[in-house]
Amino acid sequence: MTAKVVSVANMKGGVGKTTVAVALAHELAKGVGAKPGERVLLIDLDAQANASFWLSGDEALSELIERGKTVDGFLEDTIIFGKTPQLKDYVHQTTILSGADMKIFVIPSSPGLRIVEREMISFLSRRTRSLLEVERVVSELLVDQLEKLKADFDVIIFDSAPGISALTEAALRASDLVVVPTVPDFISNLGLEAFCKSVWWSNKDSPEERTPFVLANMVKTTEHHKSMLAEMREEAGAEDGAFKMFALEIPDMPWIEEATASVNGAGARAFAADASGLFAKLAAEVVEAMNAPAPPRRPRPEPLHRPEPGISPIVEATNGSAH
Ligand SMILES: Nc1ncnc2c1ncn2[C@@H]1O[C@H](COP(=O)(O)OP(=O)(O)OP(=O)(O)O)[C@@H](O)[C@H]1O
Ligand SMILES: [Mg+2]
């Protein structure tokens, strides 16, 4: 077993990253089409810890945070305290959305991740001088640990925080597929181009093109959404388009909001019962996309704000030009 790695990411907040990451974990664990359920691990890279909460519930999550069995606990032990823990020892089997014949695993995060990320950057930058080097260290650590986890799972899903942090960059770099939930409105689309470029830069050294896949979410029947969608589909269909798009569009549906608001009770059941089969359709498209052979790399896109750090720091760190 060698897991495929999927990142669910977007610089924009509140577009449905966590909803999609959790729903995907659930559908893949149930089994897509006639395929038996997969062993799915979700790694929460967001200090808001929504995915951790939705999958673990408050009691189990509090206990995991108490024991330091979180992504931030792992990073702090490794980078600040110089210990050598294994990320696989932080894997927790969830019970909220899992059943007897379906298992979902999670490496949770906690609000402490925000502090640990800052501590880590100031701690490492005092030693290595360069922020870009810091990001390379985090990336190499994650890639190394992922390699060890891949043998135990079929799919590893990252739920990313909004924005582009060192951790998100590392996850993008390690991913076979990047899923970008996007609301088809003007503001959400503003950041999409920049985000797609940063996905390109994060995989600059790979011989294969990893074009991100946009998922239209919270789609309304307004004229504005319709015209934005048409523009997005045109971009996705172009040979040198910055992204591809899933055929599925997820409508703005109140039950999704209700499900995530009360996930410890009715919410978990609502997710499980998705009568429309919408997330099952998404999972089928994701399986196809993550198993499709990647084409060779295209020429690099024009840099957006380079050489400022932040947009594509890994690139500079790896070519040794950073100070
Ligand atoms: N298709 C949809 N229809 C209606 N509500 C939705 C839909 N998708 C997501 N939501 C709701 O929108 C809110 C934001 O979703 P979610 O937390 O998944 O976004 P996010 O991108 O992960 O946010 P953040 O950037 O804060 O991590 C949640 O309340 C969720 O229930
Ligand atoms: Mg989220």
Ligand closest to CA 276: 1
Alpha-helical regions (H) of 129-214: 131-150, 166-174, 186-202
- What's residue 207's pLDDT? 80
- What's residue 31's pLDDT? 86
Q: Does residue 31 line the site of ligand 1, with CB under 6 A? A: no
E strand residue ranges, 160-301: 177-182, 213-219, 244-251
- What's residue 212's pLDDT? 95
0.85 surpassed by pTM:
yes
What angle do the packed helices 131-150 and 112-128 form, to 10 degrees? 120
* Atom 14 of ligand 1: nearest residue by CA position: 14
What's the full length of the chain, in residues? 323
Tokens for 214? 């946009």
Q: Does residue 168 line the site of ligand 1, with CB under 6 A? A: no
Question: 320 CA distance to ligand 1 centroid (A)?
Answer: 39
- The two most distant CA atoms of the chain are separated, in Å, by 55
Question: 89 CA distance to ligand 1 centroid (A)?
Answer: 30
Neighbours of 296 (CB within 10 A): 7
- Report the SS3 class of residue 44: strand
* Atom 25 of ligand 1: nearest residue by CA position: 13
Cα separations (Å) of 46 from 12, 33, 145, 155, 301?
Answer: 13, 30, 18, 19, 28
Q: Does residue 252 line the site of ligand 1, with CB under 6 A? A: yes
- Domains of the chain as residue ranges with CATH: 4-318 (3.40.50.300)
Q: Are 149 and 74 in contact (CB under 8 A)?
A: no
* Atom 28 of ligand 1: nearest residue by CA position: 257
Residue whose entry in the numeric block shows the structure tokens 């388009």: 241
The pLDDT averaged over each successive group of 10 residues in the chain (323 residues) is 93 94 92 85 96 90 96 94 95 80 91 92 76 82 95 97 90 94 92 86 80 96 96 93 95 83 60 76 96 80 52 43 39
* Atom 23 of ligand 1: nearest residue by CA position: 14
Based on the number of CB atoms within 10 Å of its own CB, is 141 exposed (0-12), middle (13-18) or buried (19 or more)? middle
**Single-letter code of the amino acid located at 317:** A
Looking at the CA of residue 258, tell me the nearest atom of ligand 1. 31
CA-wise closest residue to 72 among 36, 50, 29, 43: 43
Question: 1 CA distance to ligand 2 centroid (A)?
Answer: 28
The end-to-end CA distance of the chain, in Å, is 40
Q: Does residue 191 line the site of ligand 1, with CB under 6 A? A: no
